[in-house]
Structure 1
Amino acid sequence: MAWDTIRLDIEDDVATLTVDRPDALNALNVETLEALDEALSTAEDEDARALVLTGAGEKAFVAGADIGYMQDLTTPEAQAYAELGHRVADAIETFPAPAIAAVNGYAFGGGCELALACDLRVASERAVLGQTEIDLGIVPGWGGTQRLPRLVGDELARRLIFFGERVDATDALEYGLVGEVVAHDQLDDYVADLAADLASKPKFALRAAKDALNAAREGSQSAGLAYERRVWSGLFGTHDQREGMKAFVEKRDPTFE
């Protein structure tokens, strides 16, 4: 299949999925999310033994969700958008092979959440990550409130989400938000070698290992994710959500209640 906003390349059992909206810093609009959902299914059908997720261009992995689209959503519309974002993140997390996020630039909001859904995260030295939703009058809505604490610990996750802090690659590595940092011009080759190594491992053993690791941390995550979807969409229509997103689109500081 061909999509306008993403690319899927499958070679030597490795599926590389690239969000291809560099002029929009690879922001995730509905079309792109739906394409990602379809492409992940295609990669699974093609029996890919490793998955790489990255962004096109020199600036962004995925700079977040489409704020221009979100700013006027009603609560039911926001719920549907949350469901779509969750479906994509869940598809990455449950993909039947290891998934690697090649974080080559900005990874904010929904972009950070897609990276969190991957099994491994390798960052360029230029990468900057963060759950920045608080300054838009909302909270992470695609899994961030559940996956981030499991990765970096409760206290740090609260600080990152409460303050909307953006962290560079060095701090992200120290926090455990990424597993490795490499030179920007070496990222693609490094991740390609990593994915090739994973693809050479026993397929069914890798799948079993991933399933077991996911099960070990599952607990009440599904309930937490459902709650997150409700609270995220419930913020749409509030003054702070409208003001935060309008200010972003208008490139000014927001005035919250």
Structure 2
Amino acid sequence: MSSPLLSERRDGVLVLTHQAAPWNRMGFAYMDALEAAVDEAARDPQVRALLLTAEGEANFSVGMDLKELLLHSAARGGAEAVLDQRLRVLRKIELLDKPSVVTLFGFCLGGGLELPLACHFRLAASEGAQIGLPELELGTVPAWGGSARLTRCVGRDRALDLILRRRKIDGAEALRIGLVHSLHPLAQLKSAAFELARELAAQPRPSVAGVLRCVVGAEHLPLADALAVERQAVLACRDSGNQDEGLHAFLDKRRPQFPVP
């Protein structure tokens, strides 16, 4: 049986493609493979950014494989253990000190939105996207951190509107409310996402890691603690040699040549 996750490395970017078209349901095998890939990316200095996408142009994902959950969760330690793994994997992506980019197209529902909400950059198709957290249709609530992350992303009122009314919004509305960063024609979405990931991968590694620790890792800390995290990030850039090179390049009116970590 082939893996539901294709892993490719290009220009410092680890491209992770879900291979379960057309629906790309997030089953046990996919989440296992995704967790392993994220752990590997965290260890590998040659990986400097992640791109999460799905095969084809039909759908990013309709979320969890509900039939698999109902029939086979006991073998995985029960439904609680299954949900715990998904929360863990998304938190690993969110706190990774390497930037992540994700594509949203077609159905991006339930887990198919909760996974993108854990990524640092979200790009959506300008046509055909249907994005939402319709868990109330199943008599439940978002279970992979969707309600918390969506609220932090678009605000309480918009999160309530989307979740309680089971709304599925298109890319244009997602951009308007700040749920995604940019829109692209479907045929160009994946290439645009890769170019963004490659741009991020080309940035000085300690500086990128520091920004992510400051903006994401320290987001909810008291101001004094967040400032302490920022100071640590500044010192790490200095110790890496990036800061000295950046300052000298500026003064010399040349492009900086940051050391490879």
Q: Which amino acid aligns with 1:53?
A: L
Q: Which amino acid aligns with 2:130?
A: V
Q: Determine the C-alpha separation between the residues in 1 that align with 2:85 and 2:62.
A: 17
| Aligned 1:13-32 pairs, distance under 5 A | 13-23=12-22, 25-32=23-30
- Identical aligned residues as a percent: 32
1:66 aligns with 2:65: yes
In structure 1, list runs of 5 or more residues that go unmatched.
221-257
Q: Is residue 99–residue 200 contact of structure 2 (8 Å, CA) maintained in 1?
A: yes
Q: Determine the C-alpha separation between the residues in 2 that align with 1:11 and 1:46.
A: 14
Q: Who is 1:241 aligned against?
A: none
Q: Is residue 3–residue 35 contact of structure 1 (8 Å, CA) maintained in 2?
A: no
| 1:119-168 deviation per Cα after TM superposition (whole angstroms, max 9, x unaligned) | 01000122221011110111101111110000000111011111221111
Q: Determine the C-alpha separation between the residues in 2 that align with 1:7 and 1:104.
A: 18
Q: Who is 1:196 aligned against?
A: 198
Q: Is residue 123–residue 169 contact of structure 1 (8 Å, CA) maintained in 2?
A: yes
Q: Determine the C-alpha separation between the residues in 1 that align with 2:212 and 2:87.
A: 19
| 1:220-250 deviation per Cα after TM superposition (whole angstroms, max 9, x unaligned) | 9xxxxxxxxxxxxxxxxxxxxxxxxxxxxxx
1:6 aligns with 2:5: yes
Q: Is residue 10–residue 43 contact of structure 1 (8 Å, CA) maintained in 2?
A: no
Higher relative contact order (CA 8 A, sep 6+): 1
Task: Tell me which structure has the larger Cα radius of gyration.
Answer: 2
Q: Determine the C-alpha separation between the residues in 1 that align with 2:159 and 2:199.
A: 31
Q: Determine the C-alpha separation between the residues in 1 that align with 2:96 and 2:218.
A: 16
- Secondary structure of the corresponding residue to residue 159 of structure 1: helix
Q: What TM-score comes out, normalization by structure 1 length?
A: 0.80
Q: Who is 2:31 aligned against?
A: 33
Q: Determine the C-alpha separation between the residues in 2 that align with 1:94 and 1:86.
A: 12
| 1:92-116 deviation per Cα after TM superposition (whole angstroms, max 9, x unaligned) | 1012211011113211001100000
| Aligned 1:108-257 pairs, distance under 5 A | 108-125=109-126, 126-218=128-220
Q: Is residue 102–residue 123 contact of structure 1 (8 Å, CA) maintained in 2?
A: yes
Stretches (4+) displaced over 3 A = 71-74
Measure how far apart 1:70 and its partner are. 2.8
Q: Who is 1:101 aligned against?
A: 102
What value does the CA root-mean-square deviation take over the aligned residues? 1.9
Q: Determine the C-alpha separation between the residues in 2 that align with 1:62 and 1:205.
A: 32
